[in-house]
Chains A and B, each alone.
Chain A
Amino acid sequence: AQSVAQPEDQVNVAEGNPLTVKCTYSVSGNPYLFWYVQYPNRGLQFLLKYITGDNLVKGSYGFEAEFNKSQTSFHLKKPSALVSDSALYFCAVRDNTNAGKSTFGDGTTLTVKP
């Protein structure tokens, strides 16, 4: 069975500071990893994904994530946070033996204060 853990319910950072939202995963095969963002009263929006190749992937709005196979982690990062980054962030995993089913973490609420 595949699973995702987002150990922090809430992350608070000051505008302009770097941010990290943590994610660890467990799958039986090679993982496909995704980050999504949800703004209030809206559906989820895709940010970035890791499929294969370079461990550092870049996505929308200046976000990036680092895949670490040994630590089974896929942390979301941004060098300089904006107030508009405040939202709910979900990490998700799919494995290549159970295509079609995504397992999502519980979500992390990011608050960026001016």
Chain B
Amino acid sequence: KAGVTQTPRYLIKTRGQQVTLSCSPISGHRSVSWYQQTPGQGLQFLFEYFSETQRNKGNFPGRFSGRQFSNSRSEMNVSTLELGDSALYLCASSLSQNQGRYEQYFGPGTRLTVT
């Protein structure tokens, strides 16, 4: 079974621009979560989608948004980029039933650098 894929792997953007990151979950997984990983803040939860609905959201400003499509693929968007948005963005998928019981499978991440 193919793992979680994320595109692009690396991205360099300028302050004020916007960016869209993509995630394809493992086949059959209907839950997709997004995390921001930085050296200073560790792994911070952004949001989680299940069946095209956002079920949970972390403490990030409205500039961070996401969506999930009917095939469970997900995208996240960051508008008006700031230097502090530079991070590794990780996507994770898991099985659908009784969410908490199932481990998450992570993609390799998208390394976003904002200059």
Q: Which residues of A contact B (CB under 8 A)?
A: 32, 34, 36, 41-46, 49, 51, 90, 94-96, 98-107
CB-contact partner of A46 in B43, B48, B104, B107, under 8 A: B104
Do residues A43 and B90 form an inter-chain contact, with CB atoms below 8 A? yes
The CA-CA distance from A105 to B37 in the complex, in Å, is: 12
Q: Number of contacts between A and B (CB, 8 Å)?
A: 64
**Across the interface, which residues of B come within 8 angstroms of A104, CB to CB?**
35, 42-43, 45
The reply to whether A106 and B42 form a contact with Cβ atoms under 8 Å apart is yes
User: Which residues from chain A contact B107 at a C-beta distance below 8 Å?
Assistant: 43
Residue total for B at the interface (Cβ-Cβ under 8 A):
25
- Is B106 within 8 A of A100, CB to CB? no
Contact check, B103 vs A49: say whether CB atoms are below 8 A apart. yes
How far in angstroms is the closest Cβ of chain B from A91?
A: 11
Q: Are B108 and A43 in contact (CB under 8 A)?
A: yes
The answer, among B45, B103, B106, for a CB contact under 8 Å with A43, is: B106
